[in-house]
Structure 1
Amino acid sequence: MKKLLYAVASLAILMAPAQAETKYRFAIVPKAMNNPFFDVARDGCLKRAKELGNVECIYKGPVEHEPATQAQIIQDFITQKVDGIAISVADVPSMTKSIEAAAAAGIAVITFDADAPGSKRSAYIGTNNKDFGLALGKQLAQLKPEGGKYAIVSGGPGAKNLAERVDGVRESLKGTKWVEVAGSPTFCNDDPALAVQQMSDLRTATPDLGAIVPIGGWPMFAPEGYKAFVNKNRKDIDAGKLTLVVADTLKMQLELLRDGYSNALTGQRPFEMGEKAMDTLLALKKGEKVPDVIYTGLDLVTKDNVAKLLN
């Protein structure tokens, strides 16, 4: 009888379902959800989460560039006790406090796209933003070595990644014949329509402005307004009197470049940022060590190679 009971018990153990795999909920918090750049990062996050199987990607941020709203969203995720958060930092001081609160709650925190290096985040995933700015400036210098007056269009004044890009552009053009105009950079707060307006205002304020360098793709994210600006200045652009070197390489931007609406693009890799964010947060939850900084690289695009990137 004992042997029979033992055999039944052994069979029951063999037939018992395997212990369910731990599921993780990771949030990705952009600076602004009305910025299509972050849509691409979201897509990378969702793709990788599906591949991993035991990960859920939650995408939520302010509709527009509002650091206070971003901080509140992060607090909500802390309250919900998500397993990890990836943040594109809109404002370093406020996000440093938010990251500290999340870390104190035992939540794994990383940054992507825009960093807060003095915070308690575990890793940064994204672009080397100083190199990004250097590349933008180098593209301008190569396209128009004779120089002239130039202006920069930036996003939020509190974003460290954008400040590094501005520094890179300036450093790259130092010692060339390019001179930055007064009032540069302008700050559009990641608002595409405002970025286009600022380009127009810069051109009006300095009629002989030789180049505009948006260090984010914002003006192109309002394609109709951007095309109207270019068409208004088409004569000078075609004559080489106004050069447009724009950051980012989303599909709509590549199409605009192909169609003659910019001279060059320098692109980041937001899809890869979203993918790596999931991998990195999962590694942290498993107690694994991760690199402090994970750079995702740049793409330099002109009319000579834009067709290849669109294929």
Structure 2
Amino acid sequence: MRMTKWLTLGTMMLLVLTGCKGSTPSAPEVSYSTSSSPGSTMSNTKHADTLTFGIIYPMTHPFYEMITDSIEIASKSHPIQLIVKAPDEINLEQQMRMMETLITQKVSGIAIDPIDPVAFEPLINKAVQAGIPVICFESDVPGSKRYSFIGSDPLQEGTLMGQMVDRFLKGRGMIMIEGSMSGSSQIRQRLQGLEQYLKQNTEIQVLEKKYHNGDNEKAITDLESMINEHPHFDALIPLDIVSSSSAILVWKSQGLKRYAMTFGMTPEVKEALLNGQIHAVISENEHLWGNIIIEQLLAAAKHADSTSWIDTGFKEIKQSDMTNDY
């Protein structure tokens, strides 16, 4: 089963709930499970030696569908059952409930991209105390007992983005920024690196910053509002995948010719990069995550010595840099 199936289910559920918006306090949860064993196709049969790994994302999105595909491929040569979970939109309470459920199910290991590192620290410690190793990816919870973190340095990512903006705008101009959550450590550090570089090395002005808190509609509304209020802006910098998705839609609908640079090589960002709606993207080598996540979960399940941080690195990708890997 592919993640597209539960994405479709999530979309159907969301449409139903939209009709009674106001009476439902949170977005629907979506999840699915698959199992595989060496030399066989996926089946629902669970053998005695099968390891059950839980994968928890912050939300459903084509970006995470891509990660799940790579995780499934990396799992095929091992007796692994995957339980994949995600809120339909960013929702901390739902993500925490998903973590609690996996702990109750006594899975063999959990890989999570946590929405809030402070909120998840006690939950991760609870899982570890129950004998369930936890891997963090993309966003870290460094104060927890997690086995390892898979990802790159968001502060240095922000510095690179500052260099990219400087190069495209030649040291002068006005930019707008949108991110997911102001309290997100990843978003905060990306913004810090970006603003520090611009302040120290350029005359580029930040006109406005907005945060959509994981709400797709708000992300689009925010962008349209900023464009109306600052029609002479030179570039937009989306700090996360929801902001970049919204920027692509707005760029297409309004036919904008301004610069847009973002983080995260999602399928739609790849297309927008080829079409010229996005001019450059910082990739965290996301195409490698699936293999690394499975490697780390298997190592943790075998009680191997941990590596605190698996640095996947990051790099700028422009249209001219596109390869078969992206």
**TM-score (structure 1 length as normaliser):** 0.83
Residue pairs, 1:1-311, within 5 angstroms: 22-33=49-60, 35-51=61-77, 53-175=78-200, 176-182=202-208, 184=209, 186-222=210-246, 225-231=249-255, 234=256, 237=257, 242-306=258-322, 308-309=323-324
Mark the runs of 5 or more structure 2 residues left unpaired by the alignment.
Answer: 1-46
Q: Is the 8 A contact 2:212 2:218 kept in 1?
A: yes
Q: Is the 8 A contact 2:180 2:243 kept in 1?
A: no
> Could you report, residue by residue, the CA deviation over 1:46-105 in whole angstroms, capped at 9, with x for unpaired residues?
111112x12222211211100111000000000000011111010122111211211121
Structure 1 stretch displaced more, 69-78 or 137-146: 137-146
Larger Rg: 1
How far did 1:265 drift?
Answer: 1.4
**CA distance in 1: counterparts of 2:319 and 2:104, whole angstroms:** 49
**CA distance in 1: counterparts of 2:108 and 2:248, whole angstroms:** 41
**CA distance in 2: counterparts of 1:195 and 1:97, whole angstroms:** 31
How far did 1:250 drift?
Answer: 2.1
> Could you report, residue by residue, the CA deviation over 1:188-240 in whole angstroms, capped at 9, with x for unpaired residues?
22344432322221122222222210012324435873343551xx3xx2xxx
Q: Is the 8 A contact 1:89 1:114 kept in 2?
A: yes
**CA distance in 2: counterparts of 1:224 and 1:259, whole angstroms:** 10
Q: State the SS of the aligned residue for 2:144.
A: coil
**CA distance in 2: counterparts of 1:21 and 1:100, whole angstroms:** 27
- Structure 1 residue runs of 4 or more that deviate by more than 4 Å after TM superposition: none
With a CA cutoff of 8 Å and minimum separation of 6, indicate the structure with the bigger relative contact order: 1
For residue 177 of structure 1, what is the amino acid of its counterpart? Answer: E
**TM-score (structure 2 length as normaliser):** 0.79
Q: Is the 8 A contact 1:90 1:156 kept in 2?
A: no
**CA distance in 2: counterparts of 1:145 and 1:309, whole angstroms:** 31
Mark the runs of 5 or more structure 1 residues left unpaired by the alignment.
Answer: 1-19
Count of paired positions: 279
